[in-house]
Amino acid sequence: MPQILELIRDDHDFIRGLFDELAGNPETRDVRCITLHRELPGHVYAEEATLYARLRDMVPEEIRQSIEEHIDIRETLARFEVIPLRDDAWMPALVDLRERVEAHFASEEGDVFTRAEHHLSPAELFGLGEMFEEEKQRAAQFVVV
């Protein structure tokens, strides 16, 4: 089982690919929207339940900032999801969501990963990786499509 930072980066790359598809391929948008609806909330939930929970007492300011970004992403996703695919507002809303998500991913892969590697041992990162997968599966059970 990969350690948690690798799993998070894999998720980020998968979601970045989804945004590429959503922006560039109109024919698969309906299916990709369903995947995004499952993957993005599950990812942020699993981070909060594992890595963020573990780091919160060590680096409270960074985690507070990251949780604020998660709240913003959830709200932006909720606004995006009610816009019909053929509405003129859909593409600007996708661009807005993508910018917020990618900025958050970049700060996680920079600042948060650096903090995690500084404060947590390889064994802890490995254990958190197993928890992260479990939490994602748990979150997927509650997705309503």
Nearer to Fe ion, 92 or 119 (CB): 119
Nearer to Fe ion, 100 or 127 (CB): 100
CA distances 130 to 117, 126, 137, Å, are 17, 7, 11
62 lies in the binding site for Fe ion (CB under 5 A): no
Residue 117, SS3? helix
Residue 138, SS3? helix
Q: Please tell me what DSSP assigns to residue 57.
A: T
Rounded CA separation 73/104 (Å): 9
**Site track for Fe ion across 20-59, x = CB under 5 A:** ---------------------------x------------
**Site track for Fe ion across 89-128, x = CB under 5 A:** -------------------x--------------------
What residue ranges bind Fe ion (CB under 5 A)?
47, 108
